[in-house]
Structure 1
Amino acid sequence: MEYYLSNISGVAKTEVPIKGSKGAYIQWLITKEHGAHYAVRKFTLDPQGVIPMHVHKYQETVVITKGKCKVCVADKVYEMKEGDFIFIDANVKHAFVNSDSPLEFFCIIDYADDMSIKTLDEECKGK
């Protein structure tokens, strides 16, 4: 396909399929089905929503577009807000913990040979 044009409001929103997630939703905007070698996804987290500590074999870049959250990556904790972005390499553990207002971010990933996600039995701690 040479190009694909759509609107976010028309893309299905489903619960994040990572075990232990709560109040977290995903929309797959651009995928390999559109001919792309990467995927663009939009995440929405309710207040106090969580995507727990996990790892996967693909790289990702996250861009916060609304709200603020705590991001645990490797063994560090960062506060992120609208306009902040982070690159997370393959096989680096990470988690997102929302604050008390709605959170939205875009996440761009590459397609790895193995797209599975492993949930870790660790909490995202820190302030």
Structure 2
Amino acid sequence: MDFHISRISQVPRSEVKIKGSRDAFIQWLVTSDHGAHYAVRKFTLLPHGRIGMHVHKYQETVVITKGKCAVCVGDQVYELHEGDFIFINGGVKHGFQNKDEHLEFFCIIDYTDDMSITLLEDDCP
């Protein structure tokens, strides 16, 4: 495929299935199905929604476009706001906790030979 045009509102949204997650939704905007070597995903978290702690082999960059959240990375917690971004290397545990308002962010990942996600018992405060 040489190119692909769509509207975010037309891309199916599904619930995030990572253990410890709640009120978190994902849309896969650009994927290998389009011929890309990376994926672009949009996440939406409702107020107090969360994505549980997990780890995976692939790298990701998260760009906050609406709201604010706590991002747990390794053993640290950082607060990110609209306009902030974070790069998380493969093999680094992380999770997201939304604050009081609607949260939206884009997440760009690379495709690795192992795309599995390991769920962790750790909690993101």
Q: Above 0.5 in TM-score?
A: yes
Which residue of structure 2 aligns with residue 29 of structure 1?
Answer: 29
Distance 1:118 1:76 in 2: 19
- 1:122 to partner: Cα distance: 0.6
Are 2:55 and 1:48 equivalent residues in the alignment? no
TM-score normalised according to structure 1 size: 0.97
- 1:115 to partner: Cα distance: 0.7
Structure 1: state its 5+ residue gaps. none
- 1:95 to partner: Cα distance: 0.5
Asked if 1 retains the 8 angstrom alpha-carbon contact of 2:20 and 2:53, the reply is no
Distance 1:52 1:19 in 2: 6
Distance 1:17 1:109 in 2: 17
SS at match of 1:104: strand
Are 2:69 and 1:69 equivalent residues in the alignment? yes
TM-score normalised according to structure 2 size: 0.98
Aligned residues: 125
Distance 1:47 1:57 in 2: 29
SS at match of 2:90: coil
Distance 1:20 1:75 in 2: 17
After the TM superposition, list the runs of 4 or more consecutive aligned residues in structure 1 that deviate by more than 3 angstroms.
Answer: none
Q: Write the deviation string for residues 43-73 of structure 1: whole angstroms up to 9, x where unpaired.
A: 0000000101100010000000000000000
SS at match of 2:6: coil
Distance 1:27 1:55 in 2: 20
SS at match of 1:40: strand
Structure 2: state its 5+ residue gaps. none
RMSD: 0.6
Which residue of structure 2 aligns with residue 105 of structure 1?
Answer: 105
Distance 2:17 2:37 in 1: 22
